[in-house]
Structure 1
Amino acid sequence: MSPRLLFRTFAFAELVTWAGLITALILRGTGVTDAMVAPAGGVHGFVFLAYCVITVFVWANDRWRFGAGALGLISAVIPFATLPFELVMDRRGRLGRSWRLAPGEDEPRGFVEQVQAWVLRHPWWSVVILLAGVTAVFSVLLWLGPPIPKG
């Protein structure tokens, strides 16, 4: 999977989960039901964390400037902003078609590139570690509770 496809997939997933969460909040606010808020919030939180990890990964691969990478992360906080960000980055040619640190490609320089090269050379272990890490962070956040207390 190319950096472009990976980023586009998660940018769209982030948008979809925002829509689900906002719909659930509207249903709760109008008194229809509050049963959808917890699952929609949970799915959105998980996709949000995964999107942030993937944004940093693509940022490093495609050597985005700091402002572009930071804007990519900030776009996850604003409802539906990941799609316009992704479209602009794609139009500008900033979403790579290949991994530059894949085996047989560029040699990594610095800590971030060393980590990325290891991930690209050990994809299955990387997926397991990534899922475990995102799940651990997600679990801690669930244990802490929602960002805005109910009531």
Structure 2
Amino acid sequence: MSPRLLYRRLAQAEVVTWTLLIIGMVLKYVTHTTELGVRIGGMVHGVVFLAYALVTVVVAIDRRWPVGTALTGLASAVVPYATVPFESYAERRGLLADRWRLGAGGEAPRTLPERVVATGLARPLLAVVVAVLVVAVVAAVLLWLGPPVPRR
């Protein structure tokens, strides 16, 4: 899958999961009907959020985004519905491509992050398994830590 298509799909998935979470929050805090929407929508959104963040880092390394652009891409996942406008911005600025720069037949990696990305692109099945495990472990740790609690 190309960086352009992967990034677009995850940006759109973030919008869908934000919508699920917001609906869940309305059901919990406004109508006081159920908190099931927050539990399910929140978990799904959290997993997609982590996947979007991981792919943002991978695409930023592959395409050599400036650090500020990469941070803006990461921050766009925090603001509801901002991933799609950021993805459009990245597309207009030529920051996305149909081919991986560090993929087969592409440029040789020069830095450690580029070597990690190139290794993942050379072994996509292994990279997907590792990415899923990373997202699962981070999600599990965050669930274990629990929601933020206001200080008294």
TM range (shorter): over 0.9
Counterpart-to-counterpart distance in 2, 1:18 and 1:93 = 27
Give the Å deviation of 1:32. Answer: 2.1
Give the Å deviation of 1:148. Answer: 4.8
Q: Which residue of 2 aligns with 1:3?
A: 3
Q: Which residue of 1 aligns with 2:47?
A: 46
Write the deviation string for residues 56-95 of structure 1: whole angstroms up to 9, x where unpaired.
Answer: 0111111111111110000001111101101111122211
Q: Which residue of 2 aligns with 1:70?
A: 71
Counterpart-to-counterpart distance in 1, 2:136 and 2:76 = 22
Give the residue type in structure 2 aligned to 1:81: A
Give the Å deviation of 1:101. Answer: 0.8
Q: Which residue of 1 aligns with 2:14?
A: 14
Instruction: Say if 2:30 is the partner of 1:25.
Output: no
Give the Å deviation of 1:147. Answer: 3.0
Q: Equivalent pairs: percent with the same residue?
A: 48
Counterpart-to-counterpart distance in 2, 1:70 and 1:133 = 20
Structure 2: 5+ residue stretches without partners:
none
How many residues get paired?
A: 149
Counterpart-to-counterpart distance in 2, 1:35 and 1:56 = 32
CA RMSD of aligned residues (A): 1.1
TM-score, structure 2 as length reference: 0.94
Give the Å deviation of 1:20. Answer: 0.6
| 28-37 vs 49-58, which moves further | 28-37
Counterpart-to-counterpart distance in 2, 1:11 and 1:118 = 24
Structure 1: 5+ residue stretches without partners:
none
Give the residue type in structure 2 aligned to 1:7: Y
Counterpart-to-counterpart distance in 2, 1:53 and 1:114 = 16
Q: Which residue of 1 aligns with 2:98?
A: 97
Q: Which residue of 2 aligns with 1:37?
A: 38
Give the residue type in structure 2 aligned to 1:102: G
CA 1:79–1:140 in structure 2 vs 1: closer, same or farther (change >3 Å)?
same
Counterpart-to-counterpart distance in 2, 1:124 and 1:69 = 25
Instruction: Say if 2:103 is the partner of 1:125.
Output: no
Equivalent position SS for 2:34: coil
